[in-house]
């Protein structure tokens, strides 16, 4: 299989055909029609084998997660995803691997109505780079910088299960098989909160997706907004699996580890009733965990009232380099 056959057989044939794609895969570049009155929202994320996923990870999990982390970035902006491009570096043109990869990738793209419109393919160490684009009505993107003292802090879903999944893989934690499967699923197949992000347009004052852990990512919101915050640890949304091992693992997996891909957002008090009226539409769940304060810094408050210090602030690729 040569490069052109690979592109034709695996990437040019795909389930989603959008009317706003004038020219997709096959020319020197794509030609796209953004809707009038909207702003383009563009993001990119790269997954490197051995860094972002263990070598030997199932190809479907790689394809799924490469797109999921990009979708999560658009979700955090409140954007509606439309198109993506794929830069793929592969050690060999292994058809079994490519089939699995495409199943994971297009299995997630389809339900979100996302079309692959181009990319680049080279031989090299396994690396997957995706760039994604979507829209927001002009001026409605959810930024990190809008949080104000008095705003409530919310998160979607459950925190920390992906970290428990990684601990299981590293044999730092033992769980019964059904629970092991559930946390591994959360690590390998996070559900990007795209519809939740769209619902937060016009409601949230700031928003971010939790990729590096609550402390690190909420920290970015606080820095961009020039504010501080207090979080009630007892209010953190923990899954039944997490609750069962909380005495053993503590708070760290929920606050200082990455890969949850939930949204963390802030909400002005006067919009609280609007959000609560819509809460049932957030199928993943919604939890108020704290409040934005004028005093700088992030305070994690234990049920006893004392302040908890996590053992690290999230993942930094260049720490100590
Ligand atoms: P060029 O040499 O002009 O960059 P390529 O041979 O790299 O052309 O790509 C040919 C076409 O295939 C282009 O439309 C490109 O966007 C598309 N393409 C290449 N690799 C991928 C990929 N991994 N996923 C999707 N489209 C791809
Ligand atoms: Mg090229």
Write out pLDDT tens, residues 81-113: 999 999 999 999 999 999 999 999 999 999 999
To the question of pTM greater than 0.85 for the whole model, the response is yes
Express the helix, strand and coil content of the chain in percent, nearest 5 each.
Answer: 35, 25, 40
Whether pLDDT at 315 is above 70: no
Atom number, ligand 1, closest to the C-alpha of residue 118: 16
310: pLDDT confidence band, cut at 50, 70 and 90? Answer: confident
| Residue of higher predicted confidence among 14 and 37 | 37
- CA–centroid distance, 96 to ligand 1, in Å, is 21
Q: Which of 8, 9, 12, 119 to mutate to test the pocket of ligand 1 (most atoms within 8 A of CB)?
A: 119
Q: Whose CA is nearest to atom 27 of ligand 1?
A: 119
Atom number, ligand 1, closest to the C-alpha of residue 25: 14
- Do the beta carbons of residue 310 and residue 255 sit within 8 Å? yes
- CA–centroid distance, 119 to ligand 1, in Å, is 5
Q: Whose CA is nearest to atom 7 of ligand 1?
A: 120
- Around ligand 1, the residues with Cβ closer than 6 Å are 7, 11, 25-28, 86, 88, 116, 118-121
- CA–centroid distance, 30 to ligand 1, in Å, is 10
Closest ligand to residue 7's CA: 1
Atom number, ligand 1, closest to the C-alpha of residue 26: 14
54: pLDDT confidence band, cut at 50, 70 and 90? Answer: confident
Give me the pLDDT at residue 53, please: 87
pLDDT tens by residue, 139-175: 999 999 999 999 999 999 999 999 999 999 999 999 9
Q: Whose CA is nearest to atom 5 of ligand 1?
A: 120
Q: What is the mean pLDDT of residues 6-21?
A: 90
- For 46-69, letters b (16+ CB in 10 Å) and e give bbebeebbeeebebbbbbbbbbbb
Q: Which of 61, 49, 10 is nearest to 128 (CA)?
A: 49
291: pLDDT confidence band, cut at 50, 70 and 90? Answer: very high
Q: Which of 53, 47, 5, 31 is nearest to 131 (CA)?
A: 47
Whether pLDDT at 317 is above 90: no
Closest ligand to residue 21's CA: 1
Give me the pLDDT at residue 313, please: 56
Q: Rounded to the nearest 10 degrees, how much is the dihedral formed by the CA atoms of 210, 213, 214, 216? A: -100
| Residue of higher predicted confidence among 242 and 280 | 242
Mean pLDDT of the chain: 94
Q: What is the mean pLDDT of residues 171-180?
A: 96
Closest ligand to residue 119's CA: 1
Q: Give dist(CA 305, CA 45) in Å, integer.
A: 39
Other beta carbons within 10 Å of 35: 11
Instruction: State which H helix or E strand residue 120 sits in.
Output: strand 115-123
Q: Which residues contact 154 (CB under 8 A, 6 or more apart)?
A: 264, 265, 266, 267, 275, 286, 287, 288, 289
Give the Å distances, CA to CA, from 206 to 153, 218, 255, 269. Answer: 9, 10, 19, 13
- CA–centroid distance, 115 to ligand 1, in Å, is 14
Whether pLDDT at 238 is above 60: yes
């Amino acid at each position: 299989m040569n490069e052109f056959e690979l592109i034709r057989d695996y990437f040019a044939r795909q389930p989603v055909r959008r009317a706003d794609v004038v020219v997709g895969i096959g020319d020197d570049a794509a030609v796209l029609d953004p809707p009038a009155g909207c702003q383009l929202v563009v993001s990119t994320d790269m997954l490197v084998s051995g860094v972002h996923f263990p070598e030997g990870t199932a190809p479907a999990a790689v394809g799924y997660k490469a797109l999921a982390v990009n979708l999560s970035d658009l979700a955090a902006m409140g954007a509606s995803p439309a198109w993506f491009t794929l830069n793929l570096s592969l050690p060999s043109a292994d058809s079994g691997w490519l089939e699995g990869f495409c199943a994971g990738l297009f299995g997630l793209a389809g339900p979100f109505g996302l079309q692959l419109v181009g990319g680049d393919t080279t031989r090299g160490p396994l690396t997957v780079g995706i760039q994604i684009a979507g829209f927001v009505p002009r001026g409605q993107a959810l930024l990190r910088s809008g949080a104000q003292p008095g705003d409530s802090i919310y998160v979607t879903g459950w925190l920390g299960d992906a970290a428990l999944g990684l601990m299981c893989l590293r044999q730092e934690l033992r769980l019964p098989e059904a629970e092991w499967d559930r946390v591994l699923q959360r690590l390998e197949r996070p559900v990007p909160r795209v519809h939740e992000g769209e619902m937060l347009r016009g409601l949230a004052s700031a928003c971010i997706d939790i990729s590096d852990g609550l402390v690190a990512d909420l920290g970015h919101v606080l820095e961009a907004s020039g504010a501080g915050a207090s979080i009630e640890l007892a209010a953190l949304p923990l899954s039944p699996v997490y609750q069962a091992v909380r005495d053993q693992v503590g708070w760290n997996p929920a606050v200082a580890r990455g890969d949850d891909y939930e949204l963390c957002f802030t909400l002005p008090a006067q919009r609280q009733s609007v959000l609560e009226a819509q809460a049932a539409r957030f199928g993943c769940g919604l939890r108020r965990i704290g409040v934005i304060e004028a005093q700088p810094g992030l305070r994690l408050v234990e049920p006893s009232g004392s302040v908890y210090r996590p053992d690290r602030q999230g993942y930094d690729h260049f720490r100590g380099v």
